[in-house]
Amino acid sequence: MSDAILKVRNIETYYGPIMAIRGVSLDVEEGKIVTVLGANGAGKTTILKTISGVMDPQKGTVVFDGKEIQKNDPDWVMRQGLSHVPEGREVFPFLSVRDNLLMGAYTRNDKDEIAKDMEMVHSYFPILKERGDQPAGQLSGGEQQMLSISRALMARPKVMLLDEPSLGLSPLLVKEIFGIIKRLNVERGMTMLLVEQNANIALHTADYGYVLEVGRIVMEDTTANLLNKDDIQEFYLGMQDQGVRGKRRWKKRKTWR
């Protein structure tokens, strides 16, 4: 995509001698939600860590807003306008909810605008205002996920990286959080790269999708088209209905039609 704000080209990233992602390329168009689907261990989280600077690629480039950013510190990458919401939420448990939110704005000194952004995140997640003085570690899993997303928003990012926002949450909370993710995209134009195992909700939330298998991109298309592909229906959407049997069938799958 020529107008992509984030372009990943042929990245290879290793854990020691083990190659975790193999020549991955993807684009994220400004104002869109792009999702990466894949089984557990396929390399989805590694892609986000490589983009945000947590891990360095051995090969390839990551171009964000016209500038190569690979092999830079995460703090520097974040200051360019890219916020990473990590898997497992990772809030500061002993700080208050309010102080966690302010940590998201630690690179900023525009106090009036920070106050406005605090009001903005409270409008999307009112429970965080109610819990403002409470230690973040005392929040429920769903509330911590809301806090993690809101903390990233406080940095005023151009792009958000979301790693498994549904992890460990009830179906009701997943629906609520993904509804807000979609609202942030529609109402505020927030660009997002989403990795998610819940293929059904990811495909119904995002605009474009990539399928990752053992560190490689094996399929890409609009989410509308992916939803209609037999392989996606059988090995992702069907897997969620068939439980363990579906997961075993997925592991045996070697090729894509």
Which residues, other chains included, contact 13 with Cβ-Cβ below 8 Å and sequence gap of 6+? Answer: 19, 20, 21, 46, 49, 50, 55, 56, 57, 58
| pLDDT of res. 238 | 66
| Residue 182: HSE in the Cβ half-sphere, 13 Å Cα cutoff | 13
| pLDDT of res. 2 | 57
**Residue boundaries of the structural domains of the chain:** 4-81+158-252, 89-156
**CA pair distance 172, 18, nearest whole angstrom:** 38
| pLDDT of res. 180 | 95
Which residues, other chains included, contact 37 with Cβ-Cβ below 8 Å and sequence gap of 6+? Answer: 44, 195, 196, 197, 199, 202, 203, 209, 210, 211, 212, 236
Instruction: Tell me the pLDDT of the chain (257 aa) as tens digits.
Output: 558 999 999 999 999 999 999 999 999 999 999 999 988 888 999 999 999 999 999 999 999 999 999 999 999 999 999 999 998 878 999 999 999 999 999 999 999 999 999 999 999 999 999 999 999 999 998 999 999 999 999 999 999 999 999 988 899 999 999 999 999 999 999 999 999 988 999 999 999 999 999 999 999 999 999 999 888 888 777 644 444 444 444 444 444 44
* Closest to 78 measured CA to CA, from 51, 102, 113: 51
* Residues of the chain by 3-state class (helix, strand, coil), percent to 5: 45, 25, 30
**CA pair distance 13, 208, nearest whole angstrom:** 23
Residue type present at position 16 = G
**CA pair distance 169, 187, nearest whole angstrom:** 25
The answer to whether domain 4-81+158-252 has CATH 3.40.50.300 is yes
pTM for the model stands at 0.88
